[in-house]
Structure 1
Amino acid sequence: MLVIGGLGTACAVNTTGGGSASGNAKTGGTTKTVPRFIGMGLQSAQDAAQKQGFYSLKSHDSLGRDRHQILDRDWKVCSQNVKAGTTASTATRLDFGAVKVDETCPAKDRSAPAKAHGTMPNFKGESVNTARHALDSGTSVTVNDASGKGRYVLIESNWQVCSQKPPAGTKLSGQPVEFAAVKFGESCP
């Protein structure tokens, strides 16, 4: 596709013979009213957004567990980053907070913990997956089953941190990190 622009407008010319579209160069596209997606299945919300001309779509785990929405039909929308009824450019990225269909939406959308910058955060209650991603990529991480059952922690987004070494507030200087964890829905010992 070839894009030709000039003084506030842009015209995208499809060089494959499929036509052209025009819009505002500042907003990157035409403007539309953003529908309400909350309560819809994630796949249905994505389809509806695209039908309205919104193609820059993203989704995240509303529970803050950093799970990936592999089968969008298995997830439902709990939040959206652009309020329904707002007029926005169709180039605007829409981000849907979602949980699995059989889960309850949280009262407040939780994002994954921020990156650890020199100090060990308190990861208790967070998913092992989000804790690992918050640490420097070179950090050695060991995860053990805190229940005493000796289970392997394979899908880290399904496990919550019960304890950590080093403790929260410790200066991080490349030392290994250890987590003791149980599956979500289980109580920490």
Structure 2
Amino acid sequence: MRRTGRGAGAIVALLVAGGLLGGCVASGVSEEPDEGAAAAAGGRDGTFGRDWSIKPEAPAGEKAAKPTPVPVVTAPPAPVSTPDTAPAPAPTPAETGTGWLWEDPVRITLPDFEDKDLGDVRAALEALGADDIKTVDATGDGRSPWVDSNWKVCSQDPRKGREVDASDRITLAVVKDGERCP
């Protein structure tokens, strides 16, 4: 005959349940309803389930002290002040004619950048608001500047004195310092 161990499991479960009940009695948990706590809670009976609540019990031989009712004070809600006139909402871009779809483009006039240091030229263009600056190798070798201060501007497109949108592409033909412009 084979044993399944179910009897041992049932015994362990009974021992655990007995230990829990014994701990509750030793710690002062009572199954008696507590009307005083229900009254102090303003009608809420504070029970867990239907017929019991947690309350301290006096040690054996001593008389339990009556709980002292605690008055519950509620303040009236604070008055909410509302201004007589609400502030006007901020206008939307559609109302003002501003916003990225409605803004007039920023216009800049290009100075003469020929024979100037590429780093200085790029800083000047960015300060003017230009945001599409392209460099090309003026010799046609396809080199790209890694350090702008080592290159100089040979020509620019659009030419000097032209007024362009800041978002228009500005192309600078450059050579390394010490090289001649073609």
Report the structure number with the largest CA radius of gyration.
2
TM-score for the superposition, normalised by structure 2: 0.45
Higher helix share: 2
TM-score for the superposition, normalised by structure 1: 0.43
Higher strand share: 1
